[in-house]
Amino acid sequence: MTGHVAQGSSSPALKAPPTPWPTRRLGPFEVSAIGLGCMNVCHAYGEPLSEADAARLLLAALEAGVTHFDTAALYGFGLSEEWIGRHLAPHRQRFVLASKCGMTGEPDERGVKVRVIDGRPATLKATCDQALKRLRTDVIDLYYLHRWDKRVPIEDSVGALADLVRQGKILAIGLSEVSAATLRRAHAVHPIAAVQSEYSLWTRNPEIAVLDACRELGVAFVAFSPLGRGVLTASPPDPAAFHPKDIRRAMPRFAPEHWPRNLRLQQRLAALARQAGCTPAQLALAWVLARGPHVHALPGTTRIDHLQEDLQALRVQPEAALLAELDATFTPQAVSGARYNAQGEDEVDTERF
């Protein structure tokens, strides 16, 4: 499998097989600068793909040169991990595998699975064992704490993940949606390889402190939803047509009182992309990658043509003046509405403007 090096080892970064795309360091690994987030195939934005279509997408990404695949126990309540295990396990040597624990689906009193945040050490270790079975692998390259359970000291949760490193079940530790202060506390317990948080033109909270903290500590920063949950593309979603299960229905930025203002921002992005000779998605991804050599972009998609379009962002090199215009257009004050509802905001530890 790709990358059997203990975190903190003096060994050089492990490289995935040759890829046509630029690579960046992700903990002890070297991966394609744009990875594939594997939530969309079965979770969050409506009905999941069929397994056959999901398999085609995963294999297309692999063949296109993606060497960083990211999933979680939460996605489809284990389904994303199952599909990756079933269809990518035969190619395990060709990519770096990331997954997450600490947020899973548990049955409520009606027997319906609901999202639960649980960072207790025993829970994290049990989730890892279940994930290894679903993923059909003996080691997860990068394992994130999906959300910090604020009832459990971060030192205890990271200590459990450090035990998994020592047991050889995972190779590196990541954190998701944490503040710079929490990152520093965790890093004092065990080296943190990566922080994964929402980051895009319309979600710039990491610029408050976490981006700089990651740079200082030598931690990779992985930007999820770098396309603004579909907004920063040539075909932004229609909130009125969202599937009943689409999580964006509960996000204020898509509400009627906020959406028209945000759509005008997308229209400005589209105009700038035309001037640059690329698509809006490519320009948005290129902006993310220009934030620093330690920054990775992790878009998700259900379509192979969108996957191929996203990867071409690695060929886009925006001029400094264009990047500055994007910065000035997409200020935190220009975006209307919070990124999560009140419950979602309470569940994350990230700094806020």
* Residues marked as catalytic: 75
CA gap 233, 38 in Å, rounded: 18
Residue 131's contacts (CB-CB under 8 Å, 6 or more residues apart) are 73, 81, 99, 101, 140
In the chain, count of helices (H) and strands (E)? 11, 13
CA gap 236, 242 in Å, rounded: 12
Which amino acid would we find at residue 227?
L
Paired sense of beta strands 29-32 and 113-117, if any: unpaired
Of the candidates 54, 79, 68, 58, the one whose C-alpha atom is nearest the C-alpha of residue 23 is 68
Residues 185, 259 contacting (CB under 8 angstroms) = no
